[in-house]
Every structure is written in structure tokens, then in C-alpha cells.
Homo-oligomer: A and B are copies of this chain.
């Protein structure tokens, strides 16, 4: 616990030196994207790009955030497929450059389409199968269980009706 006397600090040259603005943006997006199950590194990348005043190449992103090659590559790939980030070609530079797409609604749209809707359909299937199971139940239990399944259907319905509305609202 005694403080190491700072003998040169051989490899402490890891200062990413992010501005306050960048730190705020990064932390904000880490938090929000975690909510929809995206790893920290993805939030970091998006946050950094969100406040970047110029398109950034992958190596700059890596260095700035202190993340690995693989994380940067995979994170950018994911953000691209989400439509959250766009590639911009910079004349005279072979590298791909990235900018954040400010249409944040795409996150939501893709999330709803890729995560929520498939789950909903699976759930519908399951409910159907559950109803089939009802027949095999002792009459006593059947009634109560049927009611519960009805309730479930009701909620799935509600959710499915709400999604398009949310989507529309998101798109302004």
C-alpha cells in the first residue's frame, strides 16, 4: 500500500487524455447502450464518435479509448449494422473513417425489430402450445390455468400493439 516512488513510470504512458466533454458523452452512452445489452466498449466508441468534430479512423479510436484492435473492429461492425455509425471516405487516406449517425431512433428501431419482435413471435408460439397442454390438465386446474394463459395473451397483444406506436413516435 506504500506509494511506489515513481521511478520513471516505465509504461504508464497510457494516458488516453479524453476531454471532459468526451468523458461525459462516453459515460452517457455506456449507460444507455448497456440498457439494451450492448457491451461497454460499444458504448465507448459511440460516445466518442458522438462528440467528435471530425470523422475518426479505427486506430485513432483504439488509441483514444485504450481498447484493443479486436474490440474496436467488432464494436464498429456492430454499430454499423445498427445503423448507429457510418463510414465516410476521406480523400487521400486508405483507412475507413467513422462518424456517429445522429438519428438515435435507429438504435431503437433495430432493437425493436431484432430483439423485441422475434421474442414476441416466439412467445405467441409458446402460448399456442400452452393452450394445447390445457387439455391434459385435470379439470380442476384447467380453468384457472386457462385464465392465466388468457392474461398472458392479453399482455402479448398489448405489447405488440404498442411497438408500432413507439416506433412511429421515435421517428418524430
A27 contacts B162, CB within 8 Å? Answer: no
CA distance A27 to B119 in the complex (A): 11
A145 contacts B53, CB within 8 Å? Answer: yes
User: Which of A7-15, A63-71, A90-98, A129-137 contacts the other chain?
Assistant: A129-137
A122 contacts B31, CB within 8 Å? Answer: yes
CA distance A21 to B21 in the complex (A): 53
CA distance A33 to B148 in the complex (A): 18
B32 contacts A130, CB within 8 Å? Answer: no
* B-side contacts of A141, CB under 8 Å: 53
What range describes how many residues of A lie at the interface? 35 or more
B162 contacts A158, CB within 8 Å? Answer: no
* B-side contacts of A51, CB under 8 Å: 130, 145, 148
A126 at interface by CB-CB < 8 Å: yes
B115 contacts A35, CB within 8 Å? Answer: yes
- Tell me the A84-113 residues at the B interface (CB within 8 Å): 102, 104-105
Instruction: Choose one: B24, B31, B130, B151; the contact of A130 (CB below 8 Å).
Output: B24
A166 at interface by CB-CB < 8 Å: yes
* 17 A–B contacts from the bound complex (CB under 8 Å): A20-B133, A24-B126, A24-B130, A24-B133, A25-B130, A28-B122, A28-B126, A28-B152, A31-B119, A32-B119, A50-B148, A51-B130, A51-B145, A51-B148, A104-B155, A158-B170, A162-B169
